[in-house]
Amino acid sequence: MESQTATTNQEATSQTYPFSLPPLGYDFDALAPFIDAETMELHHDKHHQAYVDNLNKALADHPDLHGNTLEELLAKVDSLPDAVKTAVRNNGGGHANHSMFWTLMKKNENGAPSGSLAEAIARDFGSFEAFKEKFNEAGVKQFGSGWVFLIAAGGKLEIKSMPNQDTPLMQGVEPIMGNDVWEHAYYVSYRNRRPEYLKQWWNVVNWDEVQRRYESIGK
């Protein structure tokens, strides 16, 4: 299952028009009680599908862009034609962010990183607990909708929050991990309690996939 979801994420960013929704890779209730089945179904089948549909609609009349991968479109989003720039930023970013997000989760209560990733986290944040606190703080402080990411920059790990569906891919940086702090990611179970959602999310982090991403892009 993990290798399947990792593959779908890689395929999503290397996909060209027309884009398609990657499979979730596990049952909607696989992350309960930390993330409920209703949230997962709505989030994947409705919200993510809408990003894909709107991205395809925006690019339909721009055949000159059809050969670009999703990653290429996002890397040059600021130089795209005005007619599609905002749609690619919002919907292309949403497609990329969510395609990664699904792969980063499995039920893993009290899970923690290991190996080289654990060493890097301890080096750059002091401890795993300190990293979680700083990551959660960035998520809580992100005004309105957005994401909080872990990236590698200059040989060090950094936490970066971004608004809406912006992604580090727009700056040529592939994120190692990220958490969705849009209300649709948590409102069914947590209502407006974003800090609680952020705290509980650590029980569903797929550290095997985060480690794979770190080994691939984080060094």
Q: What is the pLDDT of residues 86-109, one digit of tens each?
A: 999 999 999 999 999 999 999 999
1, pLDDT greater than 60:
no
φ/ψ of residue 156, rounded to 5? -125, 155
Cα separation of 142 and 192, whole Å?
A: 14
pLDDT of residue 11: 77
3, pLDDT greater than 80:
no
The residue ranges of every structural domain in the chain are: 2-28+35-103, 115-217
| Domain 2-28+35-103 falls under CATH 1.20.120.140 | no
Cα separation of 86 and 199, whole Å?
A: 32
Mean per-residue pLDDT over the chain, rounded = 95
Cα separation of 92 and 74, whole Å?
A: 7
161, pLDDT greater than 70:
yes
Read off the pLDDT band of 217 (50, 70, 90).
confident
- The architecture in CATH of the region 115-217 reads 3-Layer(bab) Sandwich (3.55)
Neighbouring CB atoms inside 10 A of 210's CB total 19
Indicate the residue type of 183. Answer: E
219, pLDDT greater than 80:
no
pLDDT in tens, 40-80: 999 999 999 999 999 999 999 999 999 999 999 999 999 99
What does DSSP assign to residue 105? B
127, pLDDT greater than 50:
yes
pTM of the model: 0.94
Q: Do domains 2-28+35-103 and 115-217 have the same CATH topology?
A: no
